C-alpha cells in the first residue's frame, strides 16, 4: 500500500505495516521536549502519575529558552523546577543558560534529531524538525507528562497535503517567503490537523536552514506537521552530527487530500500584516508603514544563514535613529560563529543590539516588548493581537533581508529600496 513519508513514520512507530488518515494509533516516541513555560505544568502532572522514573533519561530534552535569562521571580522559579526535576530523575539533556539555545535551533544543531524519528514537544513549533525528515509535532503539557512516563503517545493519523514549488527564487526572496506565501494562499486553518509535505525543484535546492524555517511555520497554517524528504543535503548536514539514519520518502502513488503547485519565479518578499500570519502582501504593496522595532532571530530565523543575510544588508549602514533593532542568534554556537565572521561587529556598528539566545520578544516575554501603538517588523512566526506586548501594538512578519532593510529605513521596505 502506497504511503506518504508521514504515514510511514507513524506506522513504524505504531508497529503497523500501514496507517490511514483518521485512524487512531498509539506510537513510541524517540524524543520528548519541553521548555520553561510548558515543562512545569508537565512536571506537576508527571508527579500525579506516581511512577518512580522516566521512560528514558536520554530521550527527554528540557530547554529553558522563553524567559531566559530569567526576567523575574516567577520565571526563575519555573527554571528552578525544571532543574530540580532533571536532577531528581537523572535527565541528561537539561540546557541551562551558557549552554542553551532556542530549543528548535539547538536540537538540530547538536544532532538530537534524526530522519525517520517521531518527536513530540510541548511547544507548537516542534513541527520544525520535519525539515530533517522526522515526524515532529507539538503536544500539550499533559501529553508531555504521559510521554515522559511511558514513552508513548496516541495520534489520529492526519490527512496529507502536498506543496510543490517550482521555478527560481528571485533575489532577496527566502524560505520565509515561501511559507508566508503558502499560509497566505491557504489560510491559518487551511491545513488544520493535516500533514504538510513540501516538495519540488525549489525545495531540492533549498538549504537545511531554509527548510527548518518553513517546517517551523507549518503550525501557522494549522498543520499537524510539516515534512521534507531527506536527501543529499540532509546527509551532508548530519555528516558531523550523526550517522546511520533511515531515508524514508513518500511512495509515488501516495494519496493526498490536495496538491498545490506554484511557480515562485515572480513572487516578491512577503510581509504578513496584523493580526494573522495569513494576512500577507508583497513588500511592494505595503505602502509606508513606519516601525519602531525590528527583531531578527527566533526559532524561525535565528540560524547562521539568517545572521549572514542580516549582516549583508546592515553592513556599512545605520539603524534608523527612531528604531530599535534586536538581533537574536539561536544558540551559543551561532553567537561564536557570528563573532568569528565579524557579524556581531557589523550589527553593533550599525546600532543594533545583540542578545543572548532567547525567545524573549517573540512571545512578548522580554528583551523587546512593544508599548501601546508601537509597530515591529520581525522574522518571528506569529503576529496575533498583543503578541509582542501591548494589545494595541502591531507585529509585521517578514524575511530577514526585509527586516534588516526596514531597520535602516525606519519603515517596511525591500532591500532593493536602500
Cβ–Cβ < 8 Å for 20, 257: no
Could you tell me which residues come within 8 angstroms of residue 293 by beta carbon, excluding any fewer than 6 positions away? 323, 324, 325, 326, 368, 370, 374, 375, 376, 377, 378, 388
> Annotation-wise, does 362 bind a ligand?
yes
- Packing angle between helix 208-216 and helix 175-186, nearest 10 degrees? 30
Q: How far is CA 217 from CA 25, 358, 410, in A?
A: 25, 18, 26
**Closest Cα partner for 376 from 414, 326, 303?**
326
Interatomic CA distance for residues 30 and 20, integer angstroms: 22
**Closest Cα partner for 116 from 235, 206, 211?**
235
Cβ–Cβ < 8 Å for 213, 219: no
Interatomic CA distance for residues 140 and 53, integer angstroms: 20
> Annotation-wise, does 325 bind a ligand?
no
Cell triple for 281: 502582501
Interatomic CA distance for residues 298 and 328, integer angstroms: 6
CA 315-295-299 angle, 5° bins: 110
Cell triple for 293: 522595532
Instruction: Count CB-CB contacts under 10 A for residue 174.
Output: 27
In 3-state terms the chain splits into helix, strand, coil percentages (rounded to 5) of: 35, 20, 45
Could you tell me which residues come within 8 angstroms of residue 175 by beta carbon, excluding any fewer than 6 positions away? 206, 207, 209, 210, 211, 213, 214
Binding site residue list = 299, 359, 362
Question: Residues forming the annotated binding site for [4Fe-4S] cluster?
Answer: 299, 359, 362
Amino acid at each position: 500500500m502506497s504511503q506518504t513519508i508521514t504515514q510511514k513514520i507513524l506506522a513504524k512507530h505504531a508497529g503497523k505495516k500501514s496507517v490511514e488518515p483518521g485512524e487512531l494509533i498509539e506510537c513510541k516516541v524517540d524524543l520528548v521536549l519541553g521548555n520553561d513555560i510548558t515543562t512545569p505544568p508537565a512536571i506537576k502532572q508527571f508527579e500525579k502519575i506516581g511512577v518512580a522514573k522516566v521512560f528514558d533519561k536520554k530521550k527527554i530534552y528540557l530547554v529553558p529558552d522563553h524567559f531566559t535569562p530569567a526576567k523575574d521571580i516567577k520565571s526563575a522559579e519555573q527554571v528552578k523546577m525544571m532543574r530540580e526535576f532533571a536532577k531528581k530523575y537523572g535527565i541528561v539533556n537539561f540546557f541551562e543558560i551558557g549552554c542553551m539555545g532556542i530549543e528548535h535551533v539547538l536540537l538540530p544543531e547538536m544532532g538530537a534529531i534524526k530522519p525517520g524519528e517521531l518527536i513530540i514537544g510541548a511547544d507548537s513549533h516542534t513541527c520544525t524538525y520535519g525539515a530533517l525528515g522526522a515526524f515532529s509535532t507539538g503536544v500539550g503539557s499533559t501529553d508531555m507528562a504521559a510521554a515522559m512516563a511511558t514513552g508513548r503517545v496516541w495520534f489520529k493519523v492526519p490527512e496529507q497535503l502536498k506543496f510543490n514549488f517550482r521555478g527560481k527564487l528571485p533575489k532577496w526572496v527566502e524560505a520565509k517567503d515561501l511559507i508566508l506565501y503558502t499560509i497566505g494562499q491557504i489560510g491559518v486553518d487551511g491545513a488544520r490537523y493535516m500533514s504538510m509535505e513540501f516538495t519540488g525543484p525549489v525545495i531540492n535546492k533549498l538549504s537545511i536552514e531554509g527548510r527548518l524555517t518553513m517546517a517551523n511555520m507549518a503550525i501557522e497554517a494549522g498543520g499537524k506537521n510539516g515534512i521534507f524528504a531527506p536527501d543529499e543535503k540532509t546527509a551532508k548536514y548530519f555528516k558531523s552530527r550523526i550517522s546511520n539514519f533511515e531515508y524514508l520518502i513518500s511512495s509515488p502513488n501516495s494519496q493526498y487530500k490536495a496538491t498545490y503547485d506554484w511557480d515562485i519565479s515572480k513572487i516578491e518578499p512577503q510581509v504578513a500584516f496584523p493580526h494573522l500570519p495569513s494576512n500577507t502582501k508583497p513588500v511592494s504593496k505595503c505602502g509606508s508603514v513606519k516601525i519602531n522595532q525590528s527583531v531578527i532571530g527566533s526559532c524561525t530565523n535565528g540560524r547562521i544563514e539568517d545572521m549572514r543575510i542580516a549582516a549583508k544588508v546592515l553592513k556599512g549602514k545605520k539603524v534608523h535613529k527612531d528604531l530599535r533593532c534586536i538581533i537574536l542568534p539561536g544558540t551559543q554556537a551561532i553567537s561564536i560563529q557570528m563573532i568569528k565572521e565579524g557579524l556581531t561587529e557589523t550589527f553593533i556598528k550599525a546600532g543594533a543590539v545583540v542578545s543572548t539566545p532567547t525567545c524573549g520578544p517573540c512571545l512578548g516575554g522580554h528583551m523587546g516588548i512593544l508599548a501601546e501603538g508601537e509597530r515591529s517588523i520581525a522574522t518571528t512566526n506569529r503576529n496575533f493581537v498583543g503578541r509582542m506586548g501591548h494589545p494595541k501594538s502591531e507585529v509585521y512578519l517578514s524575511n530577514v533581508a526585509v527586516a534588516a532593510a526596514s531597520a535602516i529605513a525606519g519603515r517596511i521596505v525591500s532591500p532593493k529600496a536602500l
